[in-house]
Structure 1
Amino acid sequence: MPRIPGVPTKEAGPLVRVLYWFAKRRLGAVPEPFSVLARHRKLMLAAARHELAAEKASKVLPANVREIAVFRTAQQLGCSWCIDFGTMLQKHEGLDIERLKQIDDYATSPAYSRQERLAVAYADALTATPVTVTDEQVAELVGEFGQEGVLELTYQVGLENMRARMYSALDLRDQGFTSGDACRIPVPADADAGQVRTPGA
C-alpha cells in the first residue's frame, strides 16, 4: 500500500471519475500515482496537464533515445513503478525491452547504439547527487542531437527524477503494466478485498 492511499472511484467526485475513465481508456488501468494525487485535485489536474503537454512537446529526440534515458533514471533511483510503466511504454513503441536487462553494461553492450549510450551516460550524470554533467558531455550531445534535442533530453530526465523520487517517497510500487496485470489494482478499494498486489510489492 502506498503511504498515502489513493481515492477509490466510489469516493471520487465527477471530475476525478472522468479523469479515471480517460486514464483507464488510454492505459488499460488507472495509474496508482494518479489515484494518490487525486487527494489533491488541483495538483492532480496540474500534473495531468503537464504530463500530456510534455509528451506532446517531446518529439525532437528519437523515441528509443528518450525512453532509454528515462528508464535509466528510474532504474538508478529504484522506482519500481516507473520501471514497470517505462518498460510498458517502450514495448508499445515497438522497442526491444529484452535489452533492458543489459542496461548496466550499456557502455559496451552491442544492444545499445552510440546515441543511446550518450543518453544513458547523460541520465546518470544528471541523476547523480551532486549533478556531474560536464561541458564536454553537453557539447558532444549537442553535436549529436542539436540544442533542442539536448533540452528535451534534459527536461525528460529531470521530469523522471521528480516522478521517481516522489513515487519512491510515497512507496508507490510496480503495478503490472508490463505483464498486463495492471487492472488487478486499477483504483484502491475498487477490487476485491482479498486482492493481492503485483509481484515485487
Structure 2
Amino acid sequence: MARISLDPPRTLLTRLTSWYSKRAYGKVIDPLLALAHNRRVLMTDSRFEMSLARWNRLEPGLKNLAELASAAAIGCSWCMDFGYWASRRHGTPHEKLQDVPRWRESDVYTPLERDVMEYAEAMTATPPTVDDELADRLRGRLGEAAFVELTAMVAVENFRSRINAALGLSSQGFKDTCDVPVRPAG
C-alpha cells in the first residue's frame, strides 16, 4: 500500500504529465502521482527521465537487465513490474526477464549479460562491492562510453527503486499486459 496519496492536487502540470503518461504507458504511472505532490521534484524527475531516454551507447537489452537486477536487489515490485513491460517493448525475451531474480541459477544468459547483472548487484549493495576484475572485464567488452552509461543507469535505477520502494509503490499490472498466451492453431 502506498505511503503517500496517489491523488495529488489537480494542477496544470499534473494534468499534462498524466496525459503524457496515459499516452506513453496506457495509464498514469503511480510514481508520477506520488512525485506530483512536489512540483519541483516532478519537473526535475521528468526532465531527467526525458534526457535518459536519449542515452544510446549501451545496448538496450543489457540496460534493461541491469535495471531489473538492481530493482530486484532493492526489492522494488513497481520497478520490476514496469521494467518487465518496458523490456518486452525493447524485445528482451520473456525467459530472460522472468529469471532476473535468480539469474545465477539460470542458463538463459550470455557471459556478458551475467557480468552486467553481477555489476548491477555489486553497485546496488551497500556499500558497493564492485571489484576491479569485473569492471575491467565489462569496460573491455563494452567500451568506455557504454561502461559509463551502464554505471549511470544502475545508479539511476537505484534512485528510482529506492524512491518507489520507500513510498510503498507496488505493481500496477504492466507485466500482465505483456505476455498474451498464444492461441492453438485450428
Shared fold per TM-score greater than 0.5: yes
Match of 1:48 among 46, 49, 71: 46
The question of 1:97 aligning with 2:94 is answered yes
Partner of 1:7: 7
Instruction: For 1:45-194, list aligned pairs within 5 A.
Output: 45-57=43-55, 59-107=56-104, 109-180=106-177
After superposition, what is the alpha-carbon deviation per residue over 1:76-113, rounded to whole angstroms, capped at 9, x for unaligned?
11100000000001111121122233335534633101
How far apart are residue 180 of structure 1 and its match? 2.9
Partner of 2:29: 31
Asked if structure 1 preserves the Cα contact closer than 8 Å seen for 2:95 and 2:108, the reply is no
Give every structure 1 segment of 4 or more consecutive aligned residues whose post-TM-superposition deviation is greater than 4 Å: none
Asked if structure 2 preserves the Cα contact closer than 8 Å seen for 1:6 and 1:37, the reply is no
RMSD over aligned Cα, in angstroms? 1.6
Q: How far apart in 2 are the matches of 1:168 and 1:105? A: 20
Letter in 2 for 1:46: T
Q: How far apart in 2 are the matches of 1:42 and 1:104? A: 34
Letter in 1 for 2:114: R
The runs of 5 or more residues in structure 1 that have no matched partner are: 182-201
